[in-house]
Amino acid sequence: MSANNVLLVDVDPERRDLLSTLVEFINCQAIIVQEPDLWFEDAGELSDIAMAIVGDCGDKHQTKQVLRELVNHDARIPVFQLDFADNEVTDFPGTLGALRFPVKYPQLSNALQQASVYRSQQASNEQQEGYDFRRLVGNSRLMKAVQQMIDQVSDSEANVLILGESGTGKEVVARNLHHLSSRREKPFVPINCGAIPAELLESELFGHEKGAFTGAITARKGRFEMAEGGTLFLDEIGDMPLPMQVKLLRVLQERNYERVGSNKTLTTNVRVIAATHRNLESHIAEGRFREDLFYRLNVFPIEMPALRERPEDIPLLINELITRIEHENRGTVRLTQAAITSLCQYEWPGNVRELANVVERLVILFPYGTVDFDDLPPKFQIEGGELPEVVTTVIEETPQRQETVQSSVNPVEAPQAALEAASPELDSLPEDGLDLKEHLANLEYLLIKQALDDSAGVVAHAANKLKMRRTTLVEKMRKYGIQRDVD
């Protein structure tokens, strides 16, 4: 079905009503969001959203948060901001523009056309580029704080220092900072300062002229030159030798440098983002890192939390990692709730990088299969621990990569006799026993169908009857192949 819904996010009821009327006039269905922080619950099938219009979400920070979530969502929703009196609209990266309120028919019709073109371009880009961009994944309090800091500093020119243990995703933060900045159309150039020998690091950063040293048979651009106009990411800055620290400080202060073997001064216009897992203040005390360079880099620090500090994000990360593998056509795998619960109790000394390795290993070991607790490598089999309620809730509400129904009878295609066998009136176990997973799946299927029939196909009403979130019900309908007729 082609997208024909327009998502309206605004706390002002009068603006919502006027926009809703105009949206219906162009033969679209308005989906109204009254509580901006719950937009994803009201939105329903995001593939059915033609575009989103975001007005006042309560305050500037909340509005920016909703815009960020919409723009960065996998569904690639075309987003427009609503420009109205007493509202200072800034060009948020990734939005398609602003609609002046009160919105007129030609303006809305043109926006819809823009949105259609945008969706076509995105589909084409995804086919060409694959799944290269790495977005930040996590709804924990710690990750929301990181996302808020990224929002605050991304479009400034301030140097950023990203701190955190190895494998926490510091480069992902750097790429997000670049992606959300005004430099996003220019290069993002990373360099690992600890992986390059000290004698070659100067050439790597600043380039060299032909004959500058033995082996320099041609002139070569350095990373500063490659990143011109964009962002230079200096990973593991704590491992940079002291002599190079002096030269880097000069570039940051004076914004110019020379290639190795050249007297010609080159100017640079790059934003520098640095990262390290080292304690730089300890390094300063030990004389291994320059204090003046530290303060030059540490204009805006962002600390990435360790994975063990945000276990509620692990189910979401598992989903994301499997999705990446699927996009790269390297297979897939499913995990049971027991397996995910066990992984949430592991300490993850290698953080997200270690989790990514485990997921990739499971895809190789169980291609297109289901991984249960007993299938996990022994050190990840953790029993008896008690998870916080927030972690348990996330596991229960993230079903799309969890266990698929293992049954010889598919509930979608099950004959009536099999479905009737799953009725609540079962008084005792059959003599030959029964498959409990199959029985519960069939029962769940029947109850969802009944709730939808009683609600005339309106998913929100059916979710209320079943005492579950609308988004959870939509996922279960996908799981059982239940089509909704009306919503």
Domains and CATH numbers, the chain: 5-129 (3.40.50.2300), 141-305 (3.40.50.300), 308-396 (1.10.8.60), 416-480 (1.10.10)
| Contact criterion met (CB below 8 Å) for 58 and 36 | yes
DSSP 103-139: PPHHHHHHHHHHHHHHHHHHHHHHHHH-S--------
> Whole-model pTM above 0.85?
no
- pLDDT in the model for residue 444: 84
**Cα separation, 233 vs 304, whole angstroms:** 16
User: In the block, which residue shows the tokens 């979400």?
Assistant: 57
Q: Which amino acid is at 297?
A: L
- pLDDT in the model for residue 293: 96
- pLDDT in the model for residue 287: 95
- pLDDT in the model for residue 115: 83
- pLDDT in the model for residue 255: 93
Question: What does the buried/exposed string (b/e) look like for 251-265 if buried means 16 or more CB atoms within 10 Å of the residue's CB?
Answer: bbeeeebebbebeee
- pLDDT in the model for residue 400: 44
- pLDDT in the model for residue 69: 79
- Which two structure tokens, joined as six digits, stand for 224? 């500063």
CA atoms within 13 A on the CB side of 306: 10
* pLDDT tens for each residue of the chain, 487 residues long: 356 788 888 888 888 888 888 888 877 888 888 777 777 766 666 667 888 898 888 888 888 888 887 887 767 788 898 887 766 666 677 788 888 888 888 888 888 878 887 777 666 555 444 444 567 888 889 999 999 999 899 888 999 999 999 999 999 999 999 998 989 889 999 999 988 888 889 988 998 888 877 777 788 888 999 999 999 999 999 999 999 999 999 999 999 999 988 888 999 999 999 999 999 999 999 999 999 999 999 999 999 999 999 999 999 999 889 988 888 778 888 898 889 999 999 999 999 999 999 999 999 888 878 888 889 999 999 887 677 777 777 776 664 444 433 333 344 444 344 344 444 445 567 777 777 777 787 788 888 888 888 888 888 888 888 888 777 787 778 777 776 554 4
Could you tell me which residues are beta bridge partners of residue 100? Answer: 83
Q: In what order do the strands lie in the sheet with 49-54?
A: 29-33, 5-9, 49-54, 79-83, 97-100
- pLDDT in the model for residue 83: 84
DSSP-H helix ranges across 209-336: 223-226, 242-254, 280-285, 291-297, 314-327
- pLDDT in the model for residue 404: 39
User: In the block, which residue shows the tokens 């730089």?
Assistant: 280
Beta strands per DSSP E along 22-173: 29-33, 49-54, 79-83, 97-100, 160-163
On the 0-12 / 13-18 / 19+ scale of CB atoms within 10 A, 156 is middle
Question: What does the buried/exposed string (b/e) look like for 419-449 if buried means 16 or more CB atoms within 10 Å of the residue's CB?
Answer: bebbeeeeeeeeeeeeeeebbebbbbbbebb
**Of 110, 111, 121, the residue nearest 51 (C-alpha):** 111
